[in-house]
Structure 1
Amino acid sequence: MQVPAFPPDEALRVQTLRELLILDTPPEARFDNLTRAAAAFFRVQIAVVSLIDVNRQWFKSACGLDAKETPRDISFCGHTILQDDVFVIEDALLDERFFDNPLVIGEPQIRFYAGAPLKASNGMNLGTLCLIDKNPRALLDFEIEMLSDMAKLVVLELERPMARPEAVVS
């Protein structure tokens, strides 16, 4: 198993992620709606909003997966954040980086993976919107574009200011 490298701007990337105050927060419909839509549109078993912290990938939303996080060193998403394009693995068993990965040889038995980086407004890749299936497959060009567009919607939600209570006027 090949462990992903860290981005050269890792400290700023982690700082940006933590400033969002999103890690370890409860589930939210605004993210769950997007992962359900992604799973349905792409006809995959699993769709996840994954945020890459220092030593883990934490799932803000996961459709079709019960896990809340996995170690970063076995994550597919850790590879995805190293680039700006959608990262696709058509068959993880045939990929030298992943064929012996615990997530491939054990549950959830990943064969197909596609992840679009979640690029913050400052350019940092904070995580991914990813698709996972137990069956190998490919994506068409329009599907890659759609996954990228859906990842941009996730970023809009991540960076959207939270509603603040109105000041009480007496």
Structure 2
Amino acid sequence: MANADYPTASDESQRLAALQALNLLDTGAEKSFDRLTQMAANIFQVPIALVSLIDQDRQWFKSCVGLSAHQTPRDQAFCNYTILDDSIFEVKDTHRDLRFMDNPLVTGEPYIRYYAGTPILSAGYRVATFCLIDHEPRQALDARERDILFALAATVSREIELRTSIRTSLAQIRAPGGAD
């Protein structure tokens, strides 16, 4: 599934199916995710921290600190680049990066100058991101900070898997002939 406006992974259709199977898109806030984004904002001293699910044409924020928007178009999403591999995607100064200097999220609200994000995995697919945003350029994350960001994303991944496991167990219990 190729798109002229942004790059996509070679397994994009399977990734989207895995995302849809989570039943997380357009759901309400959950404390388990919100605690983690608030913790990230405090640890990294950034005004914005997000858990962002990357849907077909948008990024939707399951958890958000410091931003009033609930979603943005995918062709504007820094997180779209984050889900392309398993490492941290970092832009130290958006004004110096040709991919983003004219991005509406850089030239207008929320005036992104720094971005760091890492993928959140589910069923082996990079379905979401955990990201940090600042209004000022920053230095690259050091090794300790990278470890913390990876750990936060892994924690969100475990929360998602736990939620999925509980939903599956409840469905089995409620199914005819299921456990009582």
Please classify the TM superposition score into its range, dividing by the shorter chain length. over 0.9
Q: Deviations over 1:75-100 (max 9, x none)?
A: 00001101110001000011011000
Q: Deviations over 1:39-89 (max 9, x none)?
A: 001100000000000000000000111110000001000011011100010
Structure 1 runs (4+) greater than 2 angstroms displaced: 161-167
Q: Deviations over 1:111-156 (max 9, x none)?
A: 000001112232x110100000001102112101110111000111
Residue among 8, 12, 15 paired with 2:10: 8
Residue correspondence of structure 1 range 4-153 to structure 2 within 5 A: 4-122=6-124, 124-138=125-139, 139-153=141-155
Q: Normalising by structure 1, what TM-score? A: 0.93
Distance (whole Å) between structure 2 residues aligned to residue 107 and residue 14 of structure 1: 28
Counterpart of 2:133, as a letter, is: I
SS in 2 for 1:96: coil
Taking only aligned residues, the RMSD between alpha carbons, in angstroms, comes to: 1.8
Counterpart of 2:44, as a letter, is: F
Runs of 5+ unmatched residues, structure 1: none
How many pairs are equivalent?
167
Runs of 5+ unmatched residues, structure 2: 175-179
SS in 2 for 1:162: helix
Distance (whole Å) between structure 2 residues aligned to residue 95 and residue 20 of structure 1: 34
* Structure-2 change in CA distance of 1:135 and 1:83 (3 Å): same
Q: Normalising by structure 2, what TM-score? A: 0.88
Identity %: 46
Counterpart of 1:127, as a letter, is: A
